[in-house]
Each structure stands twice: as C-alpha cells, then as structure tokens.
Amino acid sequence: MEKSPLIEARGIHKRFLAVHALNDVSASFHGGEVVAVMGENGAGKSTLMKCLAGVYVPDEGEIRFEGQPVSIPSVNRASELGIAFIHQELNLADNLSVGANIFLGREPRKLGPLGIIDDAEIRRRTAVLIDQLGMQFSPDTRVSDLTIGHQQMVEIAKALSQDARILIMDEPTSSLTRHETDVLFKLVAELRAKGLCIVFISHRLAEVQEIADRVIVLRDGKNSGELPREEIDHDRMVSLMVGRDLNVHHSKQENSAGENVRLRVSALRVEHAPDEEVSFELRGGEIVAMAGLVGAGRTELAQALFGVDRVLGGKIEVEGEPVTIRNPRDAIAAGIAYVPENRKEHGAIVEMTIRDNVVMAGLDRYQQLGFVQQARHEQVAVEAKEQLNIKTPTVAKEVGLLSGGNQQKVVLAKWISLGPKVFLLDEPTRGIDVGSKSEIYEVIEGMAQDGAAILFISSEMEEVLRVADRILVMHEGKLAGELMGDAMTEERVMQLATGNQ
C-alpha cells in the first residue's frame, strides 16, 4: 500500500505518573483496511486509540491525518475528522432509550436547528440502524434493559450514524455472541469495501485471523511488531505479545477432592423463566462449566443464587444446610461469591482504589481485626495483585485508571480473597489477554483443589472445554443437559444449547 495512510501515529509518548503507557509508538492505518491492535492487558492499546480519538493528547510525537500533521485535542475534533471511537467500557446513558443515545447531542429537529426534537425521525433512523445490525429490539428500549452485547451494538450503531471514515473499536466483540460477532464482521467487511479504515482491539486470536488485514502488536507500551495478512497466525501473534511461547497444557485433574456437595439447588425458579425448575449440584473440588447461548438464563440463575435477582421457589442448600438468599449479603454469609458478567454494575467501584475494592467484600471479616485492619488490607491487596498479576505500580491506584483487563482481575481478586465455598463466575475472562487467561484458570483450579465448588459460566467454547470437569448446558431457562467425560465436545454443547437433544 503506497498511498499515504489515512491516519498515522509517529513516535507517540504518553505517561501517567509512574506509568509510561506509550513509549515511542508508531502505527499507520489506511482506508479500506481492517487493522487489529493486539497486546497483553496494560500494553497500551486503549491509550493509543484514545490518542487518535482526541481523548488524550500525547506528551510527545505526532499524529498525521492524510499525510498532514494534525492536533486532535478533543473528541469533537476527532468527529470532525471522521474518527469514531467505541470505548472498551461502554459509554451510554443507561436511563435513556436506544434512539436517544444514538443521537444524543445531535438530535434531528423539526423546523431547523432550534426546533423541537423530532422523535419520530430519531425512531425511524434508529430502526434502520438496528436493522442493519441484524438486531431486533425497539428504538424505544431503555439501554439499561439491554444485555451488554446489545448495548455494544448500540454503540456501533451510534458510530455508524456519524458517517465515520475511521472506526475504532476497543474490544467490540468481548461481550457479543458468536452470532452477533458474525453480524458485526459482515458489516466490517462492507465498511472496508466502502473504503473505511477499521481499527479494532481483540484478545481473541481466531477472530483476528478471520477479519484482520494486518496486525499491530504492542508490548509494555512499545511497538513489538506487525504481521501482514499472510503472516497472521496464532503462534506469531502470541510470541509478539508475550515474547515467549505459552504452554497451553490441560492441567485438568482427575477429581479427587471428594464427593462433598457444596451447593445443591432443587427445583429453583427465578424471575427470568418462572415456569422452569432448575436442579443441580456442585461438589467441592469441581469446576462445572455452564454453557448456553446468550439469553439462555445463565446470568439470571447465577444472580438469583447470589441474591441479586428474586428467587420464586425451590430450595438452595450450602454444605447440606438450607439457606435463604434475599440479597448478596445473605449469599456472602452463606459462602457464595459471584463475579458478575458486567463489571461496571456489580463488579468494581471504579472510583475506589484497588486495595479498597479487593477488601470490600470481606469488610466484616477484616473489621474484627481491629487496629491491624489497615495493614491487613494492604497485605491482602498486595497478595491479590501478585497472584493475579495485576499490572499497576501500587494497590493505591484507582481501579478506573487500570486497563480493562486489569479491572477485570480486580473483580476476581475481590472475591478470591474471601475464599468462598461456592464460586459463581460469569464470563470471568472477558477482556483478559491470552497469557493472563491461563493464569486465571490456574488460580481457579487452585481454588477448586482447595475445596471450593466452582460454577464457570462462559460463552467461549475453547475455555469451557479446557477448564470444565463437567458441563451443564442451559437452553431457554432450563437445564438442557449435562455432559461428562468424552461427551464434552463442542458438537454436543451446541446441540444442547440450541435445543436439540
């Protein structure tokens, strides 16, 4: 490609106090091209994108647009240049409708720019966009009533409505289903054909291989290398990202931790599917994966067990004792921990430090320690940081300032430090890089070996097959089946998940 790039970063530096997030990074992006930016959690991917999108101004270096040096001091300037940016942590107004979000601040109006907002026009244009994305919800739906996958689609619709020339998507697929991802990729291919430049960040190597024309890899804030289309393969991407080969051995163990039932759920009914009764057991030492299509009711089931959603009927026993769970406090007291799918909602409090987040769930316990509390907090948090390899100079840093993957690790750390008997994990590795994923599996396996029972909800087949001792599959609010041993195959999971026996 000899034409000058549409947008180009040259020798960019960006520092945040002790962190040199971008250290002499250069990257160029052309029209008609899909470029994947990859790297471990905290490598600097989001920071680079934010420099291109007017969120951050680089400390040093130059940005060129169509060959000319430009400064992009604001998001508005970026929009004027035709740069649309979809944040990793979605940026929607939860209490507004889909349409209101898409046209927020640039609402079509009747009778000129000072006229009243033309709701009918918003609805009409929103419906067209939603349809283009293959989605089914109404333009009037409140964003808070959508799944995160659908919220992601709203962000994409918003970017499309701006007629961007450069579309930057920071982990657009991490909360999408396979079907939604297919729809998105089809759209990306169409936009590429129209000459747009699409930049996207993903930790899913298979997806990158599928859609990217070129891969740019960052490591520790520096350029680590680039791969043209024909050189994109799993091993090359991994070695540029982590600088070593990963051992992806299956460390799954024959289960010896015993028969003791940690959690027994009998005829449980939840609001999501009030007519279905769900029953299953989790034993200590066991990792049970819960597979299913998005919307099958897995999250709702976990939320009911954790007291977030209402339990309508049935029985829950922890270690043989019946328990009543009306709220998360009851669940925690019973020894149940929950890592939510949506880390913003029930996960981390981003305005608080890593330390305070990590010890928050166990405050009652640490309070008993009286005056040694502070030191103990620090110690628990530092241990968690090391165990999960959270990338930060100090546990006194605000969680909101960490990279996305590292925020997810904080959510995990918070619950791990409680040492729960029953651990409900809902898509725990969303946004986590390949190397850290293995580390997280190891931590979870360690917890199982120490006797915890683990329910591992995941939509990533690879991961389900890798970590599970047993697989429960949900379909439309009920348990469609259970798979063990040789029956744990992708085909069987998909059959059950789609309602076939």
Ligand X SMILES: Nc1ncnc2c1ncn2[C@@H]1O[C@H](COP(=O)(O)OP(=O)(O)OP(=O)(O)O)[C@@H](O)[C@H]1O
Binding stretches for ligand X (CB under 6 A): 16, 19, 21, 39, 41-47, 88, 391-392, 401-406, 433
As measured in angstroms, the least distance from the Cβ of 199 to Mg ion is: 13
Minimal CB distance residue for ligand X: 405
Partner whose footprint covers residue 353, from ligand X, Mg ion, none (CB < 5 to 8 Å by kind)? none
Residue from 331, 292, 295, 296 nearest 311 by CA: 331
CB atoms within 10 A of CB 393: 10
What minimum distance in Å lies between the beta carbon of 284 and ligand X?
A: 32
* From candidates 58, 404, 428, 477, binder to Mg ion by CB under 5 A: 404
Question: Among residues 14 and 475, whose Cβ is nearest to ligand X?
Answer: 14
Is the distance from CB of 253 to CB of 449 less than 8 angstroms?
Answer: yes
Helices (H) and strands (E) in the chain, counts: 17, 20
**Distant-in-sequence, close-in-space partners of 424: CB < 8 Å, separation ≥ 6:** 302, 305, 306, 336, 337, 338, 339, 455, 457
Q: How many residues bind Mg ion (CB under 5 A)?
A: 4
Closest CB 88 distance from Mg ion, rounded Å: 5
Beta bridge partners of 166: 83, 197
Radius of gyration, alpha carbons of the chain = 23
Q: Which does 428 bind (CB under 5 to 8 A by kind): Mg ion, ligand X, none?
A: none
| 46 binds Mg ion per the rule CB under 5 A | yes
Q: What are phi and psi of 130, to 5 degrees?
A: -60, -40
Should residue 297 be labelled a site residue for Mg ion when binding is judged by CB under 5 A? no
Smallest gap from Cβ 427 to ligand X, in A, equals 15
In angstroms, give the least distance from the CB of 357 to ligand X: 14
Only segment of 14-22, 81-89, 239-247, 384-392 that touches Mg ion (CB under 5 A): 81-89
The label of the residue with tokens 């009306």 reads: 326
Q: Minimum Å distance from CB 92 to Mg ion? A: 18
User: Which residue's Cβ has the minimum distance to Mg ion?
Assistant: 46
State which residue, 199 or 496, has the beta carbon closest to Mg ion.
199
Report CA torsion sign: 95, 353, 408, 45.
positive
Among ligand X, Mg ion, none, partner that 39 touches (CB below 5 to 8 angstroms by kind): ligand X
Q: Residue 147, interface with Mg ion (CB under 5 A)?
A: no
Q: Is 24 left (phi over 0), alpha (psi -120 to 50) or beta?
A: left
3 state DSSP class of 246: coil
Q: Work out the angle at residue 207's Cα, subtended by the Cα atoms of residues 462 and 348, and round it to the nearest 5 degrees.
A: 70
What b/e string do you get for 227-257 counting C-beta neighbours within 10 Å, with b at 16 or more? Answer: beeeebeeeebbebbbeeeeeeeeeeeebeb
Angle at 52 between CA 48 and CA 53, to 5 degrees: 115
Task: Using the minimum distance from each CB to ligand X, give the nearer residue, 433 or 445.
Answer: 433
Smallest distance from the beta carbon of 99 to ligand X, in angstroms? 29
Instruction: Work out what residue 350 binds among Mg ion, ligand X, none; the CB cut-off runs from 5 to 8 Å by kind.
Output: none
Q: Which does 31 bind (CB under 5 to 8 A by kind): Mg ion, ligand X, none?
A: none
**Cα separation values, 443 from 42, 410, 414, 430, 452, Å:** 20, 13, 13, 16, 12
* Choices 154-162, 241-249, 256-264, 404-412; region in contact with Mg ion by CB under 5 A: 404-412
Residue 17 or 114 with smaller CB distance to ligand X: 17
Which residue, 15 or 478, is less far from ligand X as judged by CB? 15
| Contact residues for 321 (Cβ-Cβ < 8 A; gap 6+) | none
**For Mg ion, which stretch binds (CB under 5 A), given 96-104, 282-290, 399-407, 451-459?**
399-407
**Minimum distance from CB of 39 to ligand X (Å)?**
5
**Mind giving me the DSSP string for 7-42?**
EEEEEEEEEETTEEEEEEEEEEE-TTEEEEEE-STT
Task: Look at residue 355 and give the partner it binds from Mg ion, ligand X, none, a contact being a CB closer than 5 to 8 Å depending on partner kind.
Answer: none
Binding residues for Mg ion, rule: CB under 5 A, are: 46, 88, 403-404
